[in-house]
Structure 1
Amino acid sequence: MGFPDEHLIPLVDEGLGNSAYLVDLGDGRALAVDASRDLRALRAAVARRGLTVAYAADTHLHADFLSGAVQLGHDHGATVLASAAGGRAFAHRGLVDGDEVDLGGLTLRALATPGHTDEHLSFLLLDGGRELGVFTGGSLLVRSAARTDLLGADRTEELARAQFRSLHRLAALPDDTAVWPTHGAGSFCSAPQGAERTTTIGAEKRANPLLAAPDEGAFVRRLVAGLGTYPAYFDRLAEANRRGPAVVVGTPPLPELTAGRVRALVAEGGVVVDVRPAAEYAAGHIPGSVSIPLRGQFATWLGWLVPDTVPLAFVTADGQSVSELVWQAYKIGYERLAGRLAGGMPAWLADGGPQATTAFVAPDRAGGRAYTDVRQEAEFAGGHVPGAVHIELGDLAHRAADAPRGTLVACGHGERAMTAASLLERAGHTDLAVLAGGPADYAAAQGTRLVEGAEDSRA
């Protein structure tokens, strides 16, 4: 018999592919596990139940989001629970392997599970001596385990071997023990695609290909072979979390900027980020602006493609949520938000500002150009247009010269391709077109078939 569902509230960030958890302890208090700095969903859940967050547990120094633990300590007086080995520079209760925390009827036991990071802890939730579930963070995931290359290529194999031992330690728990990972589908911490966010020890012993590896060497080869690229901002956030993110009161403001102020910011080295839908950007945009449509994946691509060291000005569409934009930026440590263009593109044009356009073409009108695919390696290998040039979007700013001139830029639907086109335009490319659709749409319209594999995949 597992933990009652009504007492465990998963809080899923679909964009980053992560889950935080809120545990209702039954006495008006709650435990939060791996909460991000964007606490809007957690605050709503707490308010609905009339809870106070008494404990905020972090499994590791997250690379893909800023922790909300410091904020919960400020707002609720929560005790922050984290690895003593993490060297955190703020008030917390440092835990080592085997330490237990009395939650008032339930117990939380720290399990050292290094691999994803050195200081990684899993947290086993106990009712007396019975294992209810384990918060596995970036250790055991649904059908996978988190990547081991975040501390550098020279540590990847060593940490993969540690991950092997950690997964087998967790696999020794009873089969009916619930597994509550932080990283899930959509995370660049190597979680596979799929709808399941939670699992059980027994299910993973039956179906996790890493646990099926016959020995440690095979496990390491299998894990490392599946590592793809990851966003550039991952390299910055572990240290930011060690120091502790600044406390934020309310939603940070996003001031309105005149067209003249936007021009001045660009002259001073700032970047204009256009968050409107791809079709609106294509129809007319500020030359040199970066297109990153405001959607679930906005934070990922902002953190991958735009520096956090320069002021950012935004172009928004009518009806887009300013608070959503701000919190997606803040949860990955982007705080130099200068503001947004007041009145949008009409105000820019009325002030005499120049405008650029980008062709956004349907699959049946997209032939006759070189085809540049900016999806991830695994996506490309799963099926691509014959003869396509492959450059991952995350690499494009450094490889713009490898893209054919006048190319058709494509991804899965069009959003990433529009971002790619904006980067190519900043690098001096002209006469670009973006595919409104994906490779299957293009192949059907052009009377060809997709091919699989990575051969001939790079420029």
Structure 2
Amino acid sequence: MLHVEVLDTSDLGDRSYVAHDGSTAVVVDPQRDIDRVEAVLLERGLRCVAVLETHMHNDYVSGGLELARRADADYVVNAEDPVHFERESVRDGDVLTFGQMRVTVISTPGHTVTHLAYFVEDSEGIDPAAVFTGGSLLYGSVGRTDLVDVERTDELTRAQFHSARRLSELPDDARVFPTHGFGSFCSSGSAAGGDSSTIAEERQRNDALTAADEDTFVATLISNLTAYPAYYAHMGARNLQGPGPIDLSLPELVDAEQLRKRLEAEEWVVDLRTRTAYAAEHLVGSIGIELGDQFSTYLGWLIEWGAPLTLVGESADQVATAQRQLVRIGIDRPDAAAIGSPSDLSTGPDSVGSYPVVGFDDLVAADRSRLTVLDTRRDDERAAGAIPGSVHIPLHALLTRLDEVPAGPLWIHCASGFRASIAASLLARAGRDVTLIDDHFSRTEGLGLS
């Protein structure tokens, strides 16, 4: 038997896997919070005997080393990776046996130089094989190729093309299990998402397998590469060092007066509530990043790495959820936390602020001569359509380009309202007159705005 349990990490757009034969398990590309993996192992009555890494990840800190230590399991890593810990070194063509599972190592460079895939077969021949493809063959596309060294992007894109073609030679019914491609910035092209795929399906739809030729594929992939989070620069090195255990206990709780001092010092005090709740009432000087998918992505993208961080939530559970997301990208411990509403945590009427929330309908009715529309989407989104006369500064570049923001009232938008809300909070913190457009950009065409 060969079963695969899927652990989805939607906030980063990644998946981890537990492959097992009913009693023996191998874990592929686990996230940092390994208690989720351990819960699956316990529930299924499985013994983890190996942890397999497809690559040294660029978008998250791995829990692989710590899981292997706790489970007394082999930690399987490419022999070519210059790691600072003991591992079970493997190379292309190596074959490993775990219980009733036969694992063949396949070299698939492209997403990283030393990338591997693992082809897992059921020795009893009952279930179709599975191939764990990491950041090589995704659903409908492949992993991006510019994260290792931008100067090697062309070289690695060509390697990615050949790696995908190599994987396409596996049996038709082999099930494909990628780590990236579910909203991750590690994916490229037209990653399709979805719950499942096979090699036969990928031959029909995958960018790397349907392209006319290598040069066409390379040119298309590179032209479609977009900006990616700044914190990625820290992930590979952290994974090579060997991440240790995490501490998800509640940080030091601070009161209103202590919180005021942190705000006056211009530290990052991050409000986790919804963007509309933040706009209606927030502590002056705080930053609003709504807790949900991509919370950690944008906090990690914007914050100066290592800067003091305080989380403000409506409950301890809300803070705990934020902590779990943050440890996955290497922000191990917030410096402090506060629990309560802005009214609970204020030190006076001047310490609480607000700003308006509108829709694109309101922009149609507004006097555009009296305000600036600020577009905080990425360059590629802007290129596909924009509001005439709007100013464009992507959210991820805002803090370094504050001097480019025009004077006067600002009406701020993105594609859905999430990124615009972060931008609005950052600009309000800088003393600007802001209005949040909490609306879907797709509506602008019908309203005659784009």
1:209 aligns with 2:232: no
For the residues of structure 1 that align with 2:296 and 2:186, how far apart are their CA atoms? Answer: 15
1:416 aligns with 2:419: yes
Deviation at 1:386, TM superposition (A): 3.4
Contact 2:139 2:191 in 1 (8 A): no
CA-atom RMSD, angstroms? 2.2
Query: Which AA in structure 1 matches 2:204?
Result: R
1:254 aligns with 2:251: yes
Match of 1:12 in 2: 8
Query: Which AA in structure 2 matches 1:423?
Result: L
1:401 aligns with 2:403: yes
Higher mean alpha-carbon deviation, 411-420 vs 398-407, is at 398-407
Deviation at 1:392, TM superposition (A): 1.8
Match of 1:434 in 2: 436
For the residues of structure 2 that align with 1:402 and 1:326, how far apart are their CA atoms? Answer: 33
SS of the counterpart of 1:313?
Answer: strand
Contact 1:17 1:185 in 2 (8 A): yes
Deviation at 1:102, TM superposition (A): 0.8
Structure 2 CA distance for partners of 1:334 and 1:66, relative to 1, 3 Å: same
Query: Which AA in structure 1 matches 2:279?
Result: A
Query: Which AA in structure 2 matches 1:119?
Result: T
Structure 2 CA distance for partners of 1:53 and 1:265, relative to 1, 3 Å: farther
For the residues of structure 1 that align with 2:436 and 2:171, how far apart are their CA atoms? Answer: 52
SS of the counterpart of 1:101?
Answer: strand
Higher mean alpha-carbon deviation, 188-197 vs 51-60, is at 188-197
For the residues of structure 1 that align with 2:350 and 2:326, how far apart are their CA atoms? Answer: 27
After the TM superposition, which parts of structure 1 deviate over 6 Å for at least 4 consecutive aligned residues?
Answer: none
1:250-289, aligned counterparts within 5 Å?
A: 251-266=248-263, 270-289=267-286
Structure 2 CA distance for partners of 1:94 and 1:353, relative to 1, 3 Å: farther
SS of the counterpart of 1:257?
Answer: coil
Query: Which AA in structure 2 matches 1:248?
Result: I
Match of 2:130 in 1: 133
Aligned length: 441
Contact 2:141 2:192 in 1 (8 A): no
SS of the counterpart of 1:180?
Answer: strand
For the residues of structure 1 that align with 2:312 and 2:156, how far apart are their CA atoms? Answer: 42
Match of 1:32 in 2: 27
For the residues of structure 1 that align with 2:94 and 2:4, how far apart are their CA atoms? Answer: 22
Deviation at 1:95, TM superposition (A): 0.8
Contact 2:14 2:179 in 1 (8 A): yes
Query: Which AA in structure 1 matches 2:73?
Result: A
1:221-260, aligned counterparts within 5 Å?
A: 221-248=219-246, 251-260=248-257
1:292-307, aligned counterparts within 5 Å?
A: 292-307=289-304
For the residues of structure 2 that align with 1:272 and 1:321, how far apart are their CA atoms? Answer: 15
Query: Which AA in structure 2 matches 1:222?
Result: T
1:373 to 359, 372, 375: 375
Match of 1:321 in 2: 318
Match of 1:93 in 2: 88
For the residues of structure 1 that align with 2:29 and 2:350, how far apart are their CA atoms? Answer: 45
Match of 1:453 in 2: none
SS of the counterpart of 1:55?
Answer: strand
Structure 2 CA distance for partners of 1:232 and 1:197, relative to 1, 3 Å: farther
| TM-score, normalising length: structure 2 | 0.91
For the residues of structure 1 that align with 2:35 and 2:381, how far apart are their CA atoms? Answer: 32
1:103 aligns with 2:98: yes
For the residues of structure 1 that align with 2:406 and 2:283, how far apart are their CA atoms? Answer: 23
Structure 2 CA distance for partners of 1:60 and 1:129, relative to 1, 3 Å: farther
Match of 1:389 in 2: 391
Deviation at 1:202, TM superposition (A): 1.4
Structure 2 CA distance for partners of 1:31 and 1:419, relative to 1, 3 Å: same
For the residues of structure 1 that align with 2:249 and 2:31, how far apart are their CA atoms? Answer: 16
Contact 2:17 2:28 in 1 (8 A): yes
Match of 1:41 in 2: 36
1:64 aligns with 2:71: no
Unaligned 5+ runs, structure 2: none
Deviation at 1:353, TM superposition (A): 6.5
Deviations 1:35-65 (A, max 9, x none): 1002343233223212232211110111111
For the residues of structure 1 that align with 2:143 and 2:243, how far apart are their CA atoms? Answer: 24
Deviation at 1:178, TM superposition (A): 1.4
Deviation at 1:82, TM superposition (A): 1.1
Deviations 1:125-156 (A, max 9, x none): 12349771210000011111111111222111
For the residues of structure 2 that align with 1:266 and 1:60, how far apart are their CA atoms? Answer: 40
Contact 1:73 1:79 in 2 (8 A): yes
Query: Which AA in structure 1 matches 2:239?
Result: N
For the residues of structure 2 that align with 1:269 and 1:281, how far apart are their CA atoms? Answer: 18
1:358 aligns with 2:355: yes
Match of 1:457 in 2: none
1:339 aligns with 2:336: yes
Contact 1:190 1:226 in 2 (8 A): no
For the residues of structure 2 that align with 1:144 and 1:279, how far apart are their CA atoms? Answer: 36
Match of 2:448 in 1: 448
Structure 2 CA distance for partners of 1:41 and 1:381, relative to 1, 3 Å: farther
For the residues of structure 2 that align with 1:50 and 1:184, how far apart are their CA atoms? Answer: 30
For the residues of structure 1 that align with 2:265 and 2:404, how far apart are their CA atoms? Answer: 29
Contact 2:319 2:337 in 1 (8 A): no
For the residues of structure 2 that align with 1:60 and 1:115, how far apart are their CA atoms? Answer: 11
Deviations 1:179-230 (A, max 9, x none): 1110022110124354414321111111112222233222211211111010
Unaligned 5+ runs, structure 1: 451-459
SS of the counterpart of 2:426?
Answer: helix
Match of 1:456 in 2: none
Structure 2 CA distance for partners of 1:206 and 1:129, relative to 1, 3 Å: farther
Contact 2:174 2:198 in 1 (8 A): yes
Match of 1:166 in 2: 163
Structure 2 CA distance for partners of 1:272 and 1:328, relative to 1, 3 Å: same
